[in-house]
Amino acid sequence: MDYNITLPRFKEDGGDRIAHRYAFAQQVPGEGRRVLTSPASWVTDLTGAAERSMPRLVPANKKGLGGIAHKAGIHHTHLSELGITASTVNIKFSRFVNVELNVKNIEYTR
pLDDT in tens, 42-81: 888 887 776 666 788 787 788 877 777 767 777 767 777 8
Distance CA 22, CA 39 (A): 8
The three-state secondary structure class of 50 is coil
pLDDT of res. 108? 66
Distance CA 18, CA 15 (A): 9
Provide the mean pLDDT of the chain.
Answer: 79
Distance CA 21, CA 38 (A): 12
38 pLDDT higher than 80: yes
By mean pLDDT, which of 21-25, 30-34, 62-66 is the weakest? Answer: 62-66
pLDDT band at 2, cuts 50/70/90?
confident
- Residues 12, 13, 15, 17: is their CA dihedral positive or negative? negative
Distance CA 81, CA 79 (A): 5
